Amino acid sequence: MALTWSKFGVVFSLLGAMALPLQAVAQEPNFQIGSSVISALKYKPGFKHFDYVNPDAPKGGNLRLSASGTYDTFNPLLSKGETAVGLTLPFETLMKSADDELLASYGLLAEGVFFPDDVSNATFRLREEAKWADGMPVTPDDVVFSFDKSKELNPLLSNYYKHVVKAEKTGERDVTFTFDEKNNKELPNILGQLTVVPKHWWEGAGPDGKPRDISRTTLEPVMGSGPYKIAAFAPGATIRYELRDDYWGKDLNVNVGQNNFGSITYTYFGDRDVEFEAFRAGNSDYWQETQAARWATGYDFPAVKDGRVKKEDVPNALRATGIMQALVPNTRRDIFKDEKVREALNYGFDFEELNRTVAFNTYKRIDSYFWNTELASSGLPEGRELEILGGLKDKLSPAVFTTPYTNPVGGDPQKSRDNLRKAIGLFKEAGWEIKGNRMVNTKTGKPMSFEILLSSPMLERWAVPYTNNLKKIGIDARVRTVDASQYTNRVRSFDYDMIWNVWAQTMNPGNEQADYWGSGSANQQGSRNYAGIADPAIDALIRMVIFAPNRDEQVAAIKALDRVLLAGHYVVPLFYRGTQSIAYWNTVTRPAEYPTYATGFPDVWWSSAAAK
């Protein structure tokens, strides 16, 4: 998810009782300035700015960044094509997250939100001053249009908002969303993350005089309400955003000390190594390293030695994020339908050897879908988690109750041989055997053969040794790396045998779990159920997570879900680090302290040149 996290993969939830009333609103309904799930909101009505920003940060200067691959559309709602990087800059959402609180957000386009005790609907009241770049007001009609088109045109968002059955204008500045189920406390807050686009612009005519079509890709610079506009671009190669002098929200408390760069320019590269060389040469200002070997040995150039480039390992962004990075077999393929086959494939991955030879022993093996957080299951189930699993006992493998999940341990020739022997035994139980140095199906005689589809050559250094190890037991596993557009299209249509993927989890998992592992998303193209999981027990656990009446019940349900997913061997878990590795030139400056749960880049950073 290199790691690219779609914002729809990071979800925030709320408890209405913990929100704070707007000072200016006395009448019913009682609109709230923000929402929080774990504790009372940190910031009170009338707060000046977030604590982690520099309110006096200078405006101006150019931020130069890089991106991998290419792009072919500026349409922010469509799932077709390759969306340009940075496209969140011209657009805004109803609410904005705080980076120094867990699961808290405050009004951006909306000045407040209200929902009844049974959470059967949610109403957002828009700010009167909110304007599009052409000066037209942001209206409830825009929000309704954005919601309807998001569900219509984007399978991911259709699933994400599937329990929101209607959006309608209910006041001059009010828009109300109606739900088909009650007590799903997450729904109001994930609606706060809805990207809002201008209805009148999309329904108008383009520069060529022809009507615009939001159901199609476009390279016409789109208009939004946000702080930046698309100023220049070369299709598929570069894109430049400029800070708008007339941005309506520049003085909002949630924006003070943010959006500081006068312009932000992205340059695309087809090769990650070439992209890094551009950073080394000073042609881009900031770099997030995803390659352990390069982090250990590739930063000996003069700019690092003399301090013009700074290296940092930052834990903040991962303090509240559970990671599952894995190779994902597509269980829609017959060869991966048997659980024992999937388990056997894990015995072919020698993490310890690869961690030593490829990553300088800097990674840790992942053993949970909520790895590195308090939500990860461990040991044997007990307490409320055991009770939850006991209620599903007839649908679960006995191993869920008797055998803690552990990954195979390799790292030396003897352990590797033992693991491969274990894999052969599991394959045999699943109806496969080695004949003539090939692993074949005992019924059909067909050899086991599959392809690992990758989006970047950088991943080959891990995937190729894995396939070589599998070849030792007669499995014809191959690696195929394709360009970004082909990879995206194939993944969206589930046209692969196995892929490499990262799921990022917040500390409050909710509706997105159905998109990741639910039966309803297994055959919904564009969903993130890449493994094709369709299991009634998992569906039941997902609902327990979503509708948990309190935090203790939620955590128990999450751990039970984690345990059942692990027992199903739906992935070959890979590895991760507990810190984010970044490097940046002295052309940019960050606040003295990072936000508790983020690096704040680029939102709260600024140009060093602008400060002079």
Report the pLDDT value the prediction gives residue 20, as an integer from 0 to 100: 41
Spatial separation of the C-alpha atoms in residues 405 and 389, rounded to whole Å: 15
Spatial separation of the C-alpha atoms in residues 375 and 567, rounded to whole Å: 16
Spatial separation of the C-alpha atoms in residues 284 and 270, rounded to whole Å: 15
The stretch 246-272 carries a mean pLDDT of: 97
Report the pLDDT value the prediction gives residue 429, as an integer from 0 to 100: 98
368's tokens:
């949970």
Upstream peptide bond of 227 is cis (omega within 30 degrees of 0): no
User: How many Cβ atoms from other residues are within 10 Å of residue 611's Cβ?
Assistant: 13
The answer to whether residue 339 scores a pLDDT higher than 60 is: yes
DSSP-H helix ranges across 362-496? 383-390, 399-402, 413-429, 460-471, 484-492
Residue 601 — φ and ψ, nearest 5°? -90, 135
Q: Provide, rounded to the nearest whole percent, the portion of the chain with pLDDT above 90.
A: 86
Q: Are 275 and 68 in contact (CB under 8 A)?
A: yes
Strands across the sheet containing 95-97? 34-36, 104-107, 95-97
Report the pLDDT value the prediction gives residue 320, as an integer from 0 to 100: 86
15-29, 244-258, 512-526: lowest mean pLDDT where? 15-29
The answer to whether residue 328 scores a pLDDT higher than 80 is: yes
- Where do the domains of the chain lie? 34-38+50-243, 322-418+452-576
DSSP state of 193: T
Q: Are 377 and 368 in contact (CB under 8 A)?
A: yes
Report the pLDDT value the prediction gives residue 28, as an integer from 0 to 100: 67
Report the pLDDT value the prediction gives residue 34, as an integer from 0 to 100: 85
User: How many Cβ atoms from other residues are within 10 Å of residue 437's Cβ?
Assistant: 9
Report the pLDDT value the prediction gives residue 5, as an integer from 0 to 100: 33
CATH architecture observed for domain 322-418+452-576: Roll (3.10)
The single residue listed with the structure tokens 């009782």 is 17
- Name which of 415, 417, 385 is nearest 401 in CA terms: 385
14's tokens:
């709320």
Spatial separation of the C-alpha atoms in residues 163 and 542, rounded to whole Å: 14
DSSP state of 65: E
Residue 317 makes CB contacts below 8 A (sequence gap 6+) with 580, 597, 598, 599
User: How many Cβ atoms from other residues are within 10 Å of residue 539's Cβ?
Assistant: 18
Report the pLDDT value the prediction gives residue 186, as an integer from 0 to 100: 83
The answer to whether residue 39 scores a pLDDT higher than 80 is: no
Spatial separation of the C-alpha atoms in residues 382 and 112, rounded to whole Å: 41
Report DSSP letters for 13-33, one per residue. ---GGG--B-TT--SSS--BS
The stretch 284-292 carries a mean pLDDT of: 95
The model's confidence at residue 340, banded by pLDDT at 50, 70 and 90, is: very high
Give residue-wise pLDDT tens across range 547-556. 998 899 999 9
The model's confidence at residue 6, banded by pLDDT at 50, 70 and 90, is: very low
Report the pLDDT value the prediction gives residue 455, as an integer from 0 to 100: 94
Report DSSP letters for 554-602, one per residue. HHHHHHHHHHHHHHTT-SEE-EE-SSEEEEEETTEE--SS--TT---TT
Report the pLDDT value the prediction gives residue 40, as an integer from 0 to 100: 82
The model's confidence at residue 10, banded by pLDDT at 50, 70 and 90, is: very low
Give residue-wise pLDDT tens across range 120-167. 999 999 999 999 999 999 999 999 999 999 999 998 898 889 899 999
The answer to whether residue 542 scores a pLDDT higher than 70 is: yes
Report the pLDDT value the prediction gives residue 17, as an integer from 0 to 100: 34
Spatial separation of the C-alpha atoms in residues 47 and 393, rounded to whole Å: 50
Higher-pLDDT residue of 20, 265: 265
Q: What is the mean pLDDT of the chain?
A: 93
Report the pLDDT value the prediction gives residue 296, as an integer from 0 to 100: 92
- Name which of 363, 488, 583 is nearest 70 in CA terms: 488
- Name which of 168, 34, 79, 38 is nearest 508 in CA terms: 38
- Domain 34-38+50-243 maps to which CATH number in 3.40.190.10, 3.10.290.10, 3.30.1120.10, 3.40.50.720? 3.40.190.10
The answer to whether residue 314 scores a pLDDT higher than 60 is: yes
Q: The whole model's pTM is what?
A: 0.84
The model's confidence at residue 373, banded by pLDDT at 50, 70 and 90, is: very high
The model's confidence at residue 70, banded by pLDDT at 50, 70 and 90, is: very high
Spatial separation of the C-alpha atoms in residues 484 and 479, rounded to whole Å: 16
Give residue-wise pLDDT tens across range 380-424. 999 999 999 999 999 999 999 999 999 999 999 999 999 999 999
The answer to whether residue 315 scores a pLDDT higher than 90 is: yes
Report the range out of 52-66, 178-192, 506-520 with the highest average pLDDT.
52-66
